[in-house]
Homo-oligomer: A and B are copies of this chain.
Amino acid sequence: MEKQERIILVTNDDGITAPGIRALIEAVRPLGKVVVVAPDSPQSGKGHAITIGVPLRLNQVDIFEDIEAWQCSGTPVDCVKLARDKILHRKPDICVSGINHGANHSINVIYSGTMSAAMEAAIEGIPSVGFSFLEYSYDADFSLPAKVAREVTERMLRSDLPAGTLFNVNIPVVEEKDFRGLRLCRQADAKWVEEFDERRDPHGKKYYWLTGQFKNRDTGEDTDVWALENNYASMVPVQFDLTNYRLKQQLEADWKDL
């Protein structure tokens, strides 16, 4: 009985038709009742955006065998909010997001719709996890990431985790025989160096495409980037209290005249 009643909310940011979400659904299907609420279009890089200025559409779709699924016109965060309020009418037991087509390690956690959806659920007190595979292509082989997603989800469901627990899991592109397993990490201190690609439209007016190069300036061996470069799947516990307590303490001493 208990197993039937366990609800697993599945979402993503690549959109409901992406192969990555299908792989995730199949991975977690044996663990409970799966309900999918995902964007109806690609929402990569949407971060923690919510939709305020326009209303949202939400439509049930039948594209996964025996799985209740809804597509939403909004962002990944909107999907989680709508799932909670209008579809599930209660907290799911866990929220899993992904499997993202492409990396979301290090600073990418901040830009990622995949991770923002999971974070939104965590803010609601739902144990949550985002999965990302370091292979962008649409026809990537999701068998290793799916195994990792299943293992992490099972582990989270059987563990007694604090409210608001959230993980950022990235999976390397590696042969299964060379895969070294999961590794708890911290977020690497890395960033993107932007180089906008400037072009001119047919009317002679300039426009810009965002492009950039990823730069890891962190040499630590406890980071997610290091783990992925060494054939581990990285698992970073993530928080949404953004207070910089160390700086706060320092300034309480330095800025007594405040």
Q: CB within 8 Å of B: which residues of A?
A: 42, 44-53, 55-58, 75, 77-78, 81-82, 84-86, 107, 109-111, 116, 119, 123-124, 155, 159, 162, 165-166, 181-187, 189, 191, 194-196, 198-199, 205-210, 235-245, 247-248, 251-252, 254-255, 258
Report the bound CA distance from A44 to B40 in whole Å.
22
Known: A57-B208, A85-B195. 10 other contacts (CB 8 A): A45-B49, A45-B50, A49-B49, A56-B196, A56-B208, A58-B208, A109-B242, A110-B242, A162-B247, A184-B251
Distance in Å from the Cβ of A75 to the closest Cβ of chain B? 8
Flag if A196 contacts B86 (CB, 8 Å).
yes
Flag if B240 contacts A107 (CB, 8 Å).
yes
Report the bound CA distance from A86 to B211 in whole Å.
13
Question: CB-CB < 8 A to A123: which residues of B?
Answer: 107, 110, 191
Flag if A258 contacts B107 (CB, 8 Å).
no
Flag if A48 contacts B51 (CB, 8 Å).
no
